[in-house]
Structure 1
């Protein structure tokens, strides 16, 4: 039995709308004819390991105290639930010496919010126990790299005792909950979104106490900030089959979820969190006075794919419906329970919620969620058009204080940038917010501090938003080589140079300096930097080789599609130049690159590229004499079609001769 099954019912039944404890008669909304426990299904090794681990304790606790520099595979799987991955630094492997083991630790930061105390702690830990850098992730968290096994307990306990946590940052549980990094104190919808992200993180946090047994020897460290009493009450509520009665893990049980579960919260129109890429998207719906009315829910998004497996895919979330304000935790529990009890546990490649919804369809999924929810989900409410916001530069908080969004290329805090940020954050006791685009926002800045902060940061080479190249500003890359075990090629270390090359190519083709588009890169198909939403995505498919994905929208509401496989990094311009020249000459006024490629289609781009001749290559080609009249006609036709004369001539002659 994988999870607690819902009570059997017939499709014609309905549930009472009330949740009154006095009303114990349960009649269900339509569900599958048999619960998931009706027949034994094959389970993966990870499922069996989780079940036998005593809620994530063993064999991790035993492996952490051995003399070896690593932990075994079973402990490594459990380690993920505690917020850490065992890694091998391929750059540091000695010849014949095997793997160079180290650990990456990831924090949990709902809405990206980081206290001043925790920021300084993480900065210190990076220097004392890491590789001297901190990484800001695409899920608004920290990653601390290169921690050695013997230092793990010190690092974890230090984070916990400084009001941080890594619980729920990795593993088959709810991951860090995103929310817009908006520092606005006078925008109640944004304030509520950040609070809701914190509450959802508390609602779905593992409860068994194993985390404290492993890292604090059983001492449950109590933070100054207790969870909202409504979170506690709604987690315990079990009128409709969402919970395991008497279990140390009331929502997860002994086998937790089939795979990771990602939630993002936002407000209408603000897509700073890539809302459609999450398992669950929550949109805060307010009235004109800023009072929360309820929430639109989206379900079934996800980026991960498996190389050379066409049955795996990236997917956008579907609208599920609307729930009232007081019902949000019950609705989220219902969605989680449906995935927990019906998601696949035999093959982890197909265990995300997106595959369950793709298999069932949204209507059947909604019906099952309604069973666990105890009432009908209302129709999805209209929303304005989505806009990507990066929150860079100076902003007024609305309370007399300022915030400043600092660009951090690929999220890597290191060197002078790291030192300068430390100086101003420590000097003025600033809290910060990490963004889902790998940047950082300094908050609670008194206006009188502005000049000193600017001087300190600019002296360390920090570029203000007005000095940023537009391609850099919106690009993202995953860490990839040398530490990620899934990476097949570079990403973070290659992205800056690739951006420079793209800008140089655009300048050569005559684009305006302000022209840009969304570029994202990953070192493997798993899509951690969300390349499948980019206007131009690079996805690692071999050593120094990438798939090109095209057609995502600038506001991240449309999936990109694969355009070309196995492009070597040195050949990027050969693929991009004809496409960008086509775009420049055939776009509609104001049309973005992603919108253009989606509109004209890949066949047209490939056809155009076939006979494209770069201007600097024309002098190397054989010369063909034609009459002035023919040349003039070629020139006019080429100009009309957005082509060079050489391109037009090659295309025309190909059609006649080949």
Structure 2
């Protein structure tokens, strides 16, 4: 009978005065406190993590009133669209516009600010693996023209978004999607969102396995409340049977983390502290740096971005890997122990809002100007410690001047199994600044050693062709061969 938190609306309990038991005016419509709507505080401190479906039904059946806090019911996959007028808070954001998903500050106590009703919504589907039946695509295309603003948007997380859906048409749009092999259940809110997998239409067993795994995870972590179907298709069940391994996993409480007596055996009553996202991929095509790297969309999609992030991170990771290779080459020459399989958690964001969580990364790049970043250091591989600002206004072309001395000294001065984040914290920023400012490369190395890997073009081309088959550069493959040889010699396995 309850729906978990799924959508964010600016008309939350604080702004409406429901926490204090008062009333607010929504374009002339009085909104009283709804005593039948249960309220609980989630682990993150947000209110109204649960709502009885009666609240949402009353809102849906009242065309003249806004979807108030009870519309933050999970599973519906709809959120307030951008056209939201907030009188009394115009100085806080662009006039009349609220970016979707960004909470508003509460008004001062006793404020008489009036909030205009939300008239349109954004609706997002949930498509594990990015799979979209032809029938669903055609229906989504029609819905965008008939009820939306004429655009059908594809997200980077393999879902559809419809914008500008009027409140009075929500049920029609929702039921049409559900009846045409689609769903919005779990597409928004503080729970697991869409589960991604390689979209390439290959029939290789590893691709099929990744896609099946993604679908099973999505099924396992989908809210179990039947209220979703009660609301949008009048209780009609359109779900297919769950795979037996999913049912077994849901009923497995061997670790004591389930809630077997509740409608939501995995989520319980509080759901998650925030949204959660999962992707299944093929590790052989992913560098160790890429496994933990993250970037926000930034330019050209985000109006808050002041520099690149998502479009720039592939090149940044290649450059970091090149610095790793260079540092490891110095190790090989100096017979220093090798740990090439280690990595660093890197996060890149296009502005200080930090949507890619750079403030918990071992190495965070935070946009502070065109082609310019703050460097943040000191997070941990499992993101349990906040990073700190190390340098400002580092131009993207000067990145290696900062990273090379840091990585080199990490390799030669680290303690046993010490991560990069722990190393930078232990050394202290004063010492690290000194290392960066005085860095001219390892002392005496350039005069004593020749770092050239390839003596002739024929050898280079042969290695390059082999490397291409393994999705590597010639330099990376050559370094791998050298590392394996040196490791074998050091372990007494050389012939």
Q: TM-score, normalised by structure 1?
A: 0.39
Distance across 1 between alignment mates of 2:288 and 2:233: 44
Which residue does the alignment assign to 1:93?
A: 96
Q: Which of 253, 258, 283 pairs up with 1:269?
A: 283
Question: 2:244 aligned with 1:244, yes or no?
Answer: no
Q: Secondary structure at the match of 2:185?
A: coil
Q: Which of 284, 294, 297 pairs up with 1:477?
A: 297
Distance across 2 between alignment mates of 1:564 and 1:241: 37
8 Å CA contact 2:376, 2:388 repeated in 1: yes
Distance across 2 between alignment mates of 1:566 and 1:101: 45
Q: Which of 389, 402, 422 pairs up with 1:564?
A: 389
Q: Secondary structure at the match of 1:81?
A: coil
Distance across 2 between alignment mates of 1:209 and 1:227: 15
CA deviation after TM superposition for structure 1 residue 211, in Å: 0.9
Change (3 A) 1:59 1:534: farther
1:596-623 C-alpha deviation (Å, 9 max, x unpaired): 99988754664477799xxxxxxxxxxx
Q: Which of 349, 356, 369 pairs up with 1:521?
A: 349
1:96-119 C-alpha deviation (Å, 9 max, x unpaired): 996876433222222333333334
Distance across 1 between alignment mates of 2:127 and 2:167: 24
8 Å CA contact 1:174, 1:262 repeated in 2: yes
Query: Where does 1:243-642 land on structure 2 (aligned, <5 Å)?
Result: 243-245=259-261, 248-252=263-267, 255-260=269-274, 262=276, 264=278, 266=280, 269-270=283-284, 386=288, 388=290, 476-477=296-297, 490-491=304-305, 495=308, 520-521=348-349, 527=355, 536-538=364-366, 548-549=375-376, 562-564=387-389, 573=395, 576=396, 579-583=399-403, 603=430, 606-607=433-434
Which residue does the alignment assign to 1:63?
A: 59
Which residue does the alignment assign to 1:226?
A: 241
Query: Where does 1:179-218 land on structure 2 (aligned, <5 Å)?
Result: 179-181=197-199, 183-187=201-205, 189-218=206-235
1:119-139 C-alpha deviation (Å, 9 max, x unpaired): 4444444455146251413x4
CA deviation after TM superposition for structure 1 residue 480, in Å: 12
CA deviation after TM superposition for structure 1 residue 257, in Å: 2.0
Question: 2:170 aligned with 1:152, yes or no?
Answer: yes
Distance across 2 between alignment mates of 1:47 and 1:475: 26
Q: Secondary structure at the match of 1:170?
A: coil
Distance across 2 between alignment mates of 1:236 and 1:597: 38
CA deviation after TM superposition for structure 1 residue 160, in Å: 1.5
Distance across 2 between alignment mates of 1:476 and 1:196: 26
Which residue does the alignment assign to 2:76?
A: 82
Distance across 1 between alignment mates of 2:404 and 2:390: 24
Change (3 A) 1:480 1:48: farther
Distance across 2 between alignment mates of 1:499 and 1:234: 39
1:533-587 C-alpha deviation (Å, 9 max, x unpaired): 69653279x9xx986446899xx999997453996xxx664xx565544457998
CA deviation after TM superposition for structure 1 residue 490, in Å: 0.6
1:495-538 C-alpha deviation (Å, 9 max, x unpaired): 489959x99xx9xxxxxxxxxx9773266757357785696532
Distance across 1 between alignment mates of 2:160 and 2:298: 13
Q: TM-score, normalised by structure 2?
A: 0.50
8 Å CA contact 1:270, 1:388 repeated in 2: no
1:297-325 C-alpha deviation (Å, 9 max, x unpaired): xxxxxxxxxxxxxxxxxxxxxxxxxxxxx
Which residue does the alignment assign to 1:621?
A: none
Change (3 A) 1:58 1:611: farther
Which residue does the alignment assign to 2:121?
A: 103
Which residue does the alignment assign to 1:116?
A: 134
Change (3 A) 1:494 1:86: farther
Distance across 1 between alignment mates of 2:400 and 2:385: 16
Which residue does the alignment assign to 1:279?
A: none
CA deviation after TM superposition for structure 1 residue 83, in Å: 1.7
Distance across 2 between alignment mates of 1:46 and 1:596: 32
Structure 2, gaps ≥5 residues long: 1-39, 84-92, 98-113, 320-344, 412-418, 447-495
Q: Secondary structure at the match of 1:176?
A: strand
8 Å CA contact 1:110, 1:176 repeated in 2: yes
Change (3 A) 1:596 1:565: closer
8 Å CA contact 1:524, 1:539 repeated in 2: yes
Q: Secondary structure at the match of 2:168?
A: helix
Q: Which of 129, 136, 151 pairs up with 1:132?
A: 151
1:174-212 C-alpha deviation (Å, 9 max, x unpaired): 33234344543123x332232122122223322222111
8 Å CA contact 2:401, 2:436 repeated in 1: no
8 Å CA contact 1:135, 1:144 repeated in 2: no
CA deviation after TM superposition for structure 1 residue 165, in Å: 0.9
Distance across 2 between alignment mates of 1:121 and 1:603: 60
Q: Secondary structure at the match of 2:192?
A: coil
Distance across 1 between alignment mates of 2:116 and 2:258: 46
Distance across 1 between alignment mates of 2:179 and 2:277: 26
8 Å CA contact 1:106, 1:144 repeated in 2: yes
Distance across 1 between alignment mates of 2:310 and 2:285: 27
RMSD: 5.5
Q: Secondary structure at the match of 1:217?
A: coil
Q: Secondary structure at the match of 2:366?
A: strand
1:360-410 C-alpha deviation (Å, 9 max, x unpaired): xxxxxxxxxxxxxxxxxxxxxxxxx84648xxxxxxxxxxxxxxxxxxxxx
Q: Secondary structure at the match of 1:59?
A: helix
Change (3 A) 1:127 1:583: farther
